Structure 1
């Protein structure tokens, strides 16, 4: 990062406006936006976002702004050291070309008392380091190091610059340390997303609990973070990198990711316990319907089937309710007279709460697990597959207490 870019980004975080900052410093709005974007990249944290055309500061921006204040003070001191006109401060400060890495190298030369020794420690060529120091002196307008037979010594102006740059280095390293810690936490964490289970007894819930127990028993260095969401959201989260592993009820949208089938089952209808209709057509004709949204594999199959079985019913769309929460769907069926559809493996464990009705034809439903390129993700996929295999291989008598 350049000091000028840090100065610009700090003013954006303070004012909350890219355009105002650009006008104030006579810069292009794109230049100001890049300064903020570069700061976010360096610190591995999102500081702002666009909402209805306006810039919105996120919570983290306040802490970063506070962390930048020692650097803003140091820039003011550097301006005074350079002897620039006070009226031109903001224009000068927003265009400082000095990089934080150059500051670190100057401090290393001063600490070593020798450009040659500093170059060896930094693994740089001596001519390259000498040129960077010369450019730094040229910008400030003062000689900072006096070359001597035994090395280099700070001049009076150099000692002032050393104090200023030390403050910049400390503040920047403090900000970067927080970013590094955030990165380490994310890198250690394995984020697993799944379709929403029907309940604690479901195969999804049992599979994930087995995964956590086995994972922790193996003392993996990666902590597991679990989250449940719709299949559509799972695909988007996998693409954006917000999760590493996804368990979902469709293979759609998994191109480019490693994926495997976890299990295959067939679609069944679930009806209120007191219902008497013996066919799905009669159930659909006589009861309101609640299914997952058509964005899911299960919802797509169920919605198409329910409409097909009641084509003559008026206002059919008004009582086909989409709810991407399986516990809600199960309760609507068990307690409020609705009809829905589930994979058999998910319906069997709730057979004491709902009535299971077979379809006239076989409609397959398959569940899949997908992951990104991380080794820990692949390991988790293998363990998930093993857990599912164990669950569905249990005797039928036990399976009725599992799905």
Structure 2
């Protein structure tokens, strides 16, 4: 049956080529949609976040649009009392630096390893106002390393260190608060107030007391747990993740239907030939195996074509291989595991579509196939 399937495809090369091309387009779309879904999932991951409290201006979704009043930190400290461990105003911006969208946070350096849980991977913490630290993903995305120079609003900064941290902290340019305040000016001030509670404090009670105290004082600010704010800030990512998963499912269905149509056309064209095979002693199982092998060869060729196109698209500069959302960046990458999973899914979809299509042909008698068949390319 393998020899018969190969002979059939070799004799009808034009049909084989069109089948591979048509199915390959569907598999290519399927691969890119799977990669997009995986990239969005990575972008939305934010495990291990501390339970810091965040104050932002009410009704503001994106932190860079918020503004912290000068007396808010003192008011929050008076409400929390001895439950407060540290409070830090944060200057937050989303900038485009050398073509890369980047989150910038200006905050006191001593709070980086404590409140924000940054871990230094390379280099040192800044020792002067002209030095910054990059999150690991930011450094990788921009191709920066220790000693690199980065221009922000016309001012040059030296990369003193590279750090890692939970959530979007690894996708951030970290700048000392004094340097950020001097760079952006005092007009807008900080955008976010980050409150670190003492380990023994009840965070739920502290949050409720802070909300009540701010409301009593007539101050129009929202209080979030840090992870809750990031979930709200990443709500668009959840929608995009759901959409990418849905389109991936549609792509699998398209591969299934494409294989179904190809198998149906092949079976219709070869009804007489299939009838002859049945008449000379080949059973339903053997004929079904022949059609499945034929479909498997087409699916494999289509997948290899789509895989080569995806590699060219992502890795050789024919298309963008980075996904930037709200200053956060993730990479569209095609790993061997993803390629293997894609092959398994495409093969399963192709074989299921073929089996779905040939059931009627296999159920027919040899006489019926001989009477109705138009002939075969190898009869």
Structure 1 length as normaliser, TM-score?
0.25
Structure 2 length as normaliser, TM-score?
0.26
